[in-house]
């Protein structure tokens, strides 16, 4: 049986597989397709699911899994609402759609815009709903997620305001060639290690924006396709201690990512190999 390394998910006490299942991949699939994904997750021992209220039908597709396998997964979802009342309602809706009485991790979704940040973390904001849900036993932990170049700096700001249990943000070789992003990411990592905050990463196998190319995958970015390239990208990210990789937003690429993770050799590709892939495939950042 293939095995994927497990790491402590921050201070939660859970040993999560390094690859977390990114359930955005389930947003527009049938239940039969979703159930085949579940079999793949069980085959590879993936024990952590990351979804969101805004991921189409993903929560509805996961619900039947939870009825049968709740004890096998750390279950995380997200609310994109910014006010207390709306976030409270969305958290309860997620519980119903997921068919569970408790979510392990509720995350404030893509909290990077300063105005939204002030609202969500201020009086009457979404954070109050998350804290209340934790006090009521509906959720166990609270996290924050973000996209774009501002994510690491905004996450540091969020951690100064509230003691979040996890963060989520982009991380790949291309983005770390941006000096400002790399510096902000390193500062965030240092703070998270100091506080034992779990660090989740996304866009591991992003090749670049689709641009004028026809979209042949469910991902909003053009992904790497060849197994050898996915291996390099996944192994490069896995070599960073203490981080987790959300898989990919296309069920048809999931097996390649899990296969790569199960064959991690214990050391990263060299910078020369990564630069050669970057240049050969004309990889580019998703964010200007």
Q: Which distant-in-sequence residues (6+ apart) come within 8 Å of 158 by Cβ?
A: 111, 117, 121, 144, 164, 167
Q: Which two three-digit tokens encode residue 251?
A: 């069920």
CA distance 87 to 73: 24
CA distance 178 to 102: 39
Q: What is the pLDDT, as a whole number, of residue 2?
A: 80
β-strands 206-208, 198-202: how paired? unpaired
CA distance 286 to 288: 7
Q: What is the pLDDT, as a whole number, of residue 44?
A: 97
Q: What is the pLDDT, as a whole number, of residue 212?
A: 81
Q: What is the pLDDT, as a whole number, of residue 222?
A: 86
pLDDT per 10-residue tile (average), the chain, 288 residues: 92 98 96 97 97 97 97 98 98 98 98 97 98 98 97 98 98 95 98 98 91 85 92 96 94 96 93 92 84
Report which of 97, 103, 96, 184 is spatially closest to residue 138, judged by C-alpha positions.
Answer: 103
Mutual angle of helices 58-69 and 31-44, in 10-degree steps: 50
Does the 6-280 domain belong in CATH 3.90.1150.10?
no
Beta bridge partners of 208: 222
Q: What is the pLDDT, as a whole number, of residue 221?
A: 85
Nearest 5°: CA angle at 51, between 223 and 260?
40
């Amino acid at each position: 049986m293939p095995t994927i390394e497990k790491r402590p998910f921050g201070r939660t006490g859970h040993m999560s597989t390094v690859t977390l299942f990114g359930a955005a991949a389930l947003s527009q699939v049938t239940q039969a397709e979703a159930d085949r994904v579940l079999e793949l997750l069980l085959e590879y021992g993936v024990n952590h699911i990351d979804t969101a209220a805004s991921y189409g039908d993903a929560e509805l597709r996961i619900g039947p899994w939870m009825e049968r396998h709740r004890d096998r997964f750390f279950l995380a979802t997200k609310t994109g609402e910014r006010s207390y009342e709306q976030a409270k309602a969305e958290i309860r809706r997620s519980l119903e759609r997921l068919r569970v009485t408790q979510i392990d991790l509720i995350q404030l979704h893509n909290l990077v815009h300063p105005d939204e940040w002030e609202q969500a973390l201020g009086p009457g904001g979404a954070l109050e709903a998350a804290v209340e849900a934790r006090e009521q036993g509906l959720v166990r932990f609270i996290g924050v997620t973000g996209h774009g170049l501002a994510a690491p700096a905004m996450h540091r700001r969020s951690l100064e305001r509230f003691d979040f249990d996890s963060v989520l943000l982009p991380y790949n070789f291309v983005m770390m060639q941006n000096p400002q992003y790399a510096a902000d990411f390193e500062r965030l990592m240092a703070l998270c290690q100091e506080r034992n905050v779990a660090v989740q990463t996304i866009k591991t196998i992003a090749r670049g924006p689709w641009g004028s190319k026809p979209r042949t995958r469910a991902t909003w970015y053009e992904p790497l396709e060849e197994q050898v390239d996915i291996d390099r990208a996944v192994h490069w990210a896995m070599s960073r201690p203490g981080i987790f990789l959300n898989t990919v937003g296309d069920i048809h690429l999931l097996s390649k990512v899990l296969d790569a993770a199960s064959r991690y050799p214990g050391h990263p590709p060299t910078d020369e190999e990564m630069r050669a892939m970057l240049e050969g495939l004309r990889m580019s950042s998703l964010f200007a």
